[in-house]
Amino acid sequence: MVNHYTASKRLRHDDAYTPEGKAGARPDYAVTVYTQILKKLFPEIPVVIGGVEASLRRLTHYDWWQDRLLPSVLVSSGADWLCYGMGERPMLELTRAIEKGWNRRQMEQIPQLAFLRTGKPAPGALTLHSFEECQKSKRAFAENFHEIETHANMLHPATIVEPVGEGYVQVNPPYPPATQEEMDACWDLPFTKLPHPRYKGKRIPAYDMIKYSIITHRGCFGGCNFCTIAAHQGKFIQSRSEASILKEVKQLTGLPGFAGNISDLGAPTANMYGMVGKDPSLCAKCRRKSCLWPAPCPNMNRSHARLMELYKKVDAVKGIRHSYIGSGIRYDLFLSEDGYVDNTSRPYLKTLVLDHTSGRLKVAPEHTEDNVLYYMAKPSFKLFVKLRAEFDKITREAGRRTGIVPYFISSHPGCTLKDMQNLARNPALKGLYMDQVQDFTPTPMTTSSVMFYSGLDPRTLKPVFSEHDLEKKKKQKSLFFSK
Ligand code: SF4
C-alpha cells in the first residue's frame, strides 16, 4: 500500500518494483487478494502467507488507507498459516512437518507461525483484548499494542492469543535470533543476485538500487516508534561472519557491469554490525524496546572496532574501488552530548565520512523539537548539532568539500504546525542542503500509528495530538521548504 499510495493517499504514478517502473501491476492488499484467488482455485491446498505485509498485519492493526481497524490478515485472506518475520527457519520446519505427515496440532507447535482457530486457545498464552473490543475502545487497542510490542522485543516472548469473531488468532513466539552460522548458511545458498529470468532485458528501478549492495546483518535495536523493522527482523542483531561477507564481495566483482563500487555495505542500521549486549543474561531478561532510548543501555557494547575491520577487509578485496554505506546509521552509537563514546567512535566517523560516503552524508535526526522526538523515541537534536560540528572538523582537516543532509518527518504524532515552524527556523540547520522531509505515513504495527489512530501513547496511555487533516499535514510539510 505504501508502494501504491503517497502519504496523502494519492495514487503513485510509478512502481519501483515492477519492470520499467510501471504502476498498477499488483492489486491493493495483495496478500489478501492473491490468497483469496488461490483458495478459490485450489480450496484443498494449504496457503502460507509471509513477508512484510503479512507480518505487520498479523494481529488487529490500524489501516491508514481505510482509516479503520482491521483484524488479522488471516481473517480477511483465508490463509491457513502466517509466517512472520524472516521466514527461513519456520518455512523449513513447516515443509519438513508436511513431508513427515504431522497432524495439525503438531504443526501448531512450530515457532514463528500464526493461525486462526476456533475453540479454546493454548493454556498459558497471553490473551489480548479481542478485535471487537479494540473496535469499541481505542484504549483497548493501545493496550494490546503495548503488549505485542513488548513481547516482540523480548528474547523469550509469550505465545499471543487475540480473540476474533467466534475464534482466535494465535501467534507463536519466534525462533531465537539466528546464530552467525545460521546467517552464513542462508547466504551460502547459490543466489544469482539477478531478477527473475522472465524480466530479462527489462529495467526494475528498485533492483538498480540494490544490485551491488551487501547485507551485513539483520535486526535493529534503535526502537524508533515509526519504524517496522523490529516487528519484522527483531531487536537483536544477527550478523554474518566476515568470511561470508567477503565471499559475497568476491562474487560481486564477477557480476556483469560491476565497476568496483559497492553501493551499500549495510543493513537496517549500518553501524550495528556485530553489536550485542556485554552480559547476555541481562538481555535475556530485558523488556526494553530500544537499547538506545531514552538513553543508551550501559550493557550494549557500542565499539565499532569489528565494523571498521570489516570495512578494511572488504576494501582490500581485488576489484573493489569503494564500499559505500548507503543504509542509515545511528550516530548515538558513537556520539553523546559529551563527545565520542569510546576510542573507536572518532575513527569510525572519520572513515565513514571520508572513505565510505558517496556524495553527502545522510543522517536522520527526524526533528529538531525534543517534545516531538520524545514521541518518535529519537535522541535529542543536540546530538545532531554535535555531529555536525564533528563532521565539519573532519572534512576541514581532510580538505574535503562535502556536506551533511538531515532527514526529517512532518506530522508525526505530537508534532504541531508550531513545531514545524520551529524546525524551519532552527539556526543549527543554517547553511545545510535541505530537501529531505517525509510526511508521516501510519503503517500497521508501529507505536506511531497506534498513537495516530487512538490518540493515546501506548507506552503511557496518555493523550497525544496527531494531525489528521490532509490539508494541515500538507501545510506542516510545506513549512519545511519555506525556510
Ligand atoms: S539489556 Fe541493554 S543491551 Fe541488552 S537488550 Fe536490554 S537494552 Fe539492549
Return the ligand 1 atom nearest residue 298 CA. Answer: 2
Return the ligand 1 atom nearest residue 297 CA. Answer: 2
Quote the pLDDT of residue 306: 97
Which residue is closest in CA terms to ligand 1's atom 5?
Answer: 283
Distance 267 CA to ligand 1 centre (A): 20
CA 224 to chain centre: 9
Closest to 443 in 3D by CA, of 429, 428, 435, 453:
453
Domain boundaries, the chain: 19-171, 180-481
CB 301 within 8 A of CB 275: yes
**DSSP collapsed to 3 states, 104-152:** HHHHCCCCCEEEEEECCCCCCCEECCCHHHHHHCHHHHHHHHHHHHHHH
pLDDT per residue rounded down to tens, the chain (483 residues): 888 888 778 888 888 889 999 988 889 999 999 999 999 999 999 999 999 999 999 999 999 999 999 999 999 999 999 999 999 999 999 999 999 999 989 999 999 999 999 988 878 899 999 999 999 999 999 999 999 999 999 999 999 999 999 999 999 999 999 999 999 999 999 998 889 999 988 999 999 889 999 999 999 999 999 998 888 899 999 999 999 999 999 999 998 889 999 999 999 999 999 999 999 999 999 999 999 999 999 999 999 999 999 999 999 999 999 999 999 999 999 999 899 999 999 999 999 999 999 988 999 999 999 999 999 999 999 999 999 999 999 999 999 988 899 999 999 999 999 999 999 899 988 887 777 788 999 999 999 999 999 999 999 999 999 999 989 998 888 877 665
Which residue is closest in CA terms to ligand 1's atom 4?
Answer: 283
Return the ligand 1 atom nearest residue 278 CA. Answer: 3
Which of 220, 221, 272, 302 to mutate for ligand 1's pocket (most ligand atoms within 8 Å of CB)?
Answer: 221
Distance 148 CA to ligand 1 centre (A): 18
Distance 295 CA to ligand 1 centre (A): 11
Distance 288 CA to ligand 1 centre (A): 7
180-481 carries CATH number 3.80.30.20: yes
Pocket of ligand 1 (CB under 6 A): 221, 277, 282-283, 286, 288, 291, 297, 299-300
Quote the pLDDT of residue 401: 87
CA 36 to chain centre: 28
DSSP lists the bridge partners of residue 160 as 126, 171
Distance 219 CA to ligand 1 centre (A): 14
Return the ligand 1 atom nearest residue 236 CA. Answer: 5
Quote the pLDDT of residue 145: 97
Quote the pLDDT of residue 82: 98
Distance 233 CA to ligand 1 centre (A): 16
Return the ligand 1 atom nearest residue 283 CA. Answer: 4
Distance 98 CA to ligand 1 centre (A): 37
DSSP lists the bridge partners of residue 277 as 300
Look up the pTM and report it: 0.93
Quote the pLDDT of residue 242: 98
Which of 153, 154, 282 to mutate for ligand 1's pocket (most ligand atoms within 8 Å of CB)?
Answer: 282
